A and B are shown apart, each in its own frame.
Chain A
Amino acid sequence: MSAVSHSLEHGHHAHQPSGLMRWITTTNHKDIGSMYLIFSFIMFLSGGVMALTIRAELFAPGLQVVQPEFFNQLTTMHGLVMVFGAIMPAFVGFANWQIPLMIGASDMAFARMNNWSFWLLPPAALLLLGSFFVPGGATAAGWTLYAPLSVQMGMGMDLTIFAVHIMGISSIMGAINIVVTILNMRAPGMTLMKMPLFCWTWLITAYLLIAVMPVLAGAVTMILTDRHFGTSFFNAAGGGDPVLYQHVFWFFGHPEVYIMILPAFGIVSQVIPTFARKPLFGYASMVYATASIAILSFTVWAHHMFTTGLPAAGQLFFMYATMLIAVPTGVKVFNWVATMWRGSMTFETPMLFSVGFLFVFTMGGFTGLICAIAPIDIQLQDTYYVVAHFHYVLVAGSLFALFSGAYYWLPKWTGHMYDEKLGKIHFWCSIVFFNITFFPMHFLGLAGMPRRIPDYNPMFADFNLMASIGAFGFGFSQLIFLAVVVKCIRGGERAAAKPWEGAEGLEWTVPSPAPYHTFEEPPVVK
């Protein structure tokens, strides 16, 4: 602990600005991690408001709340804001806070670049959200921004393209930082195969980000030049091909799906062993499964395009490759269940969210397998079934894992225990309302309701009503989380250095709250 007290002292001597300038100029991984988390929560609420407006319109058949054009803007921006504004930055926030603490490093490898990668995000968010207020409004081409529809859009589309560019640069810098930190700054004795699984999943995710964010930047840049500079990448009349856009987009888009879920697997792999008081089952196979998922993710992109008219050989290749992903994903689920098996479990809020994740995410896995079967997918493509599927893996998957991680590490971050009772209420409200919202969407999709429509036949009315009620319940439940976090920051029972009996890892060897500087002298891992 001498290293820790020394670093505390050092913190007092450091000449750092206070107030707003502290946050603008900070190079501290904990400050930057907190800013990422706050930013992503604000974006989460903004995207949530859009979702609730969508569900208000879909509450009953007919057009009541918004007009179709604005409805399409809302579905588009909801997707973009949640993916690029909420989920991705939230995981980077966790990486910033936790990776140095978990590998015994004093900070991220490139501390100034770290500051820059965060501070690119607020301007990007302003461009994205600000596009609602320009003539013609925000882009309404769907979050996938398919050409030629996206070429038709107004200037809101240009703002979105620039926002995507900026967020892409931010992600790439963040990813490089994580790779370098993990590969070079581990404490002596911490070999790669001794690293906490969260660090492993982030290392692999960071490689995915570096590989695919430039691809997205290329795709949207081609749209930009098609829009303004006379190129015809996606215009058949000029020798281009609209489907080319989809190939390029999904070459980014499918690895992107795993970018949003692999760190979630990492969080769950930290939480379940802690509360089962038993080591993670199959650590090595977890690492290999994560790597296999990442590699396979580059070979499955056209399963988003089964209805574009791929040749039979193409459909079959992408169907088989997609089905293969079920194998490593299955291994992970089995490993988590085996970790719980014959453990000595308690169910504090982090564990509830992790078990909830496991249960509900797996349902999303099953519908994913069903969608992998090309003939079935041709029926389900662009219906509410797909909407249900990806919300099962993104909300019950990524988001629940984020909540699990937030409750798990809140005591370390704030130095206080959160309100366990409120946390549990948050979990039960979230999981119940989540299922009320999204489960009926499977039936809507099977029965033939397309996605991205502002109005529908009355035969779909009752399930839509149910989904809308669930959505409002789910949305308001998230305010409980806000209340828990605010309360926890302000005070509460003092948290011990290791508040969880079964927790293991270097982050629990430093006091709670974690001092401003930690591990200035690296710990030794046996």
Chain B
Amino acid sequence: MRHTTRPAISVAALLAALPASASDARYNLQTPVTGIAEQIHGMHSWMLVICLVIFVGVFGVMFWSVFKHRKSKGAVAAHFHENTTVEIAWTVIPVLILLGMAYPATKTVIAMKDTSNPDITIKATGYQWMWGYDYLKGEGEGVRFFSSMSTPREQIEGGAAKGAHYLLEVDNPVVVPVGKKIRILTTANDVIHAWWVPAFGVKQDAIPGFIRDTWFRADKEGVYRGNCAELCGKEHGFMPIEVRVVSAEQYAAWVAEQKKRMATQAQPAAPQASASTASAG
């Protein structure tokens, strides 16, 4: 997708980058890395432009009036108080603009809802206050782990300097291969949470007792960070999401490593099988 608004946004981003440390999203949505996030990003930019044009039009008229039609400048009040043509025009034109906005949005909604034919299916379970992940289908099936925030308490309480990924780092990140369709099933153990990774354009509530789903296909390797987005109690601000998008080979290596880890960890939980797993490990 190409956006005519990009130059304006990059100028703003450049200005913003001057005082603060480098960050790719100072004044706009985070840089998209999935097709859906790209569509959302583009749609938002377009809507901003349309709103800006309407804004300048309406308030241009208003401020012209504010400065010209003042009693102190000798303005004498006119007496008109209705005009059917004008009133019909400013009812119909907005409807047309809205139709123009609704069309691309409808296409995106339908695309976002299409969770069919995933390469890998992962269940994300919200807990107070961490995430649990189960790789249910596809490469890595059977991998499961918990993921909690890894920012040390001293950083939060001011005893230590804050790291770059303060509050946005976890002990066990989700790892997925680049370019594959990942379906995320969400549910929760206690209260409602929400699984949100802004760069993917994905936010899905995790509802206790119910399964919901969403999907993404990341086009670029990297580490992407998000938060729980539904108030879930005391530590709501401290249950981040970290997703590492890696190459197919790296993913295969990670899966092998996870399988090994799980085999060793299963040992105390299943004492009868301990001899065989230990020798296999």
* Shortest Cβ distance from residue A19 to the other chain B in the assembled complex, whole angstroms: 46
One of B25, B70, B162, B208 near A446 (C-beta < 8 A):
B25
CB 8 Å contact bits of B32-43 with A (1 = contact, 0 = none): 000011011001
Q: A279-B81, A447-B26, A452-B236 are in contact. Are A309 and B212 (CB under 8 A)?
A: yes
CB 8 Å contact bits of A308-351 with B (1 = contact, 0 = none): 11011001100110011011001101100111111111110000
Q: Does A191 contact B (CB under 8 A)?
A: no
Chain A residues within 8 Å of B143, by CB = none
Q: A309-B205, A448-B198 are in contact. Are A373 and B101 (CB under 8 A)?
A: yes
Q: Are B51 and A342 in contact (CB under 8 A)?
A: no
One of A307, A326, A344, A459 near B94 (C-beta < 8 A):
A326
| B25 closest partner in A (C-beta) | A447
Q: Are A241 and B210 in contact (CB under 8 A)?
A: yes
* Shortest Cβ distance from residue B224 to the other chain A in the assembled complex, whole angstroms: 10
Chain B residues within 8 Å of A383, by CB = 229
* Shortest Cβ distance from residue A489 to the other chain B in the assembled complex, whole angstroms: 29
Q: Does B201 contact A (CB under 8 A)?
A: yes
- In the assembled complex, the Cα of A95 lies from the Cα of B214 at a distance in Å of 47
Q: Are A345 and B43 in contact (CB under 8 A)?
A: no
Residue with the highest number of chain B CB atoms closer than 10 Å, among A241, A279, A453:
A453
Chain A residues within 8 Å of B81, by CB = 278-283, 339
Q: Does A196 contact B (CB under 8 A)?
A: no
One of B69, B112, B231, B232 near A343 (C-beta < 8 A):
B69
Q: Does A455 contact B (CB under 8 A)?
A: yes
Taking CB atoms and an 8 Å cut-off, the chain A residues in 332-379 that contact chain B are 333-334, 337-347, 355, 358-359, 362-363, 366, 369-370, 373-376, 378-379
Q: Does B148 contact A (CB under 8 A)?
A: no
* Shortest Cβ distance from residue B171 to the other chain A in the assembled complex, whole angstroms: 17
Q: Are A457 and B19 in contact (CB under 8 A)?
A: no
Which label, helix, strand, loop or mixed, suits the secondary structure of the A interface? helix
Choose, from B102-110, B132-140, B244-252, B256-264, the stretch at the interface: B102-110
CB 8 Å contact bits of B162-176 with A (1 = contact, 0 = none): 101111100000000
Chain A residues within 8 Å of B273, by CB = none
Q: Does A242 contact B (CB under 8 A)?
A: yes
| B36 closest partner in A (C-beta) | A375
Interface residue count for A (Cβ, 8 Å)?
90
Which of under 10, 10 to 19, 20 to 34, or 35 or more describes the interface residues of B? 35 or more
One of A62, A142, A236, A333 near B231 (C-beta < 8 A):
A142
| B159 closest partner in A (C-beta) | A62
Q: Are A242 and B192 in contact (CB under 8 A)?
A: yes
Q: Does B77 contact A (CB under 8 A)?
A: yes
Q: Are B25 and A448 in contact (CB under 8 A)?
A: yes
B→A interface (CB under 8 Å):
19-21, 23, 25-30, 36-37, 39-40, 43-44, 47-48, 51, 54-55, 58-59, 61-62, 65-66, 69-72, 75-83, 86-87, 90-91, 94-95, 98, 101-102, 105-106, 108-110, 112-113, 155-158, 162, 164-168, 186, 190-192, 194, 196, 198, 201-205, 207-210, 212-214, 226-238
A→B interface (CB under 8 Å):
61-64, 68-69, 72, 140-142, 146, 148-149, 152, 235-237, 241-243, 276-285, 307-309, 311-312, 315-316, 319-320, 323-324, 326-327, 330-331, 333-334, 337-347, 355, 358-359, 362-363, 366, 369-370, 373-376, 378-379, 381-383, 443, 446-448, 450, 452-459, 462, 502
Closest 9 CB pairs of A and B: A236-B209, A453-B237, A309-B212, A344-B77, A342-B78, A375-B108, A312-B113, A366-B51, A448-B198
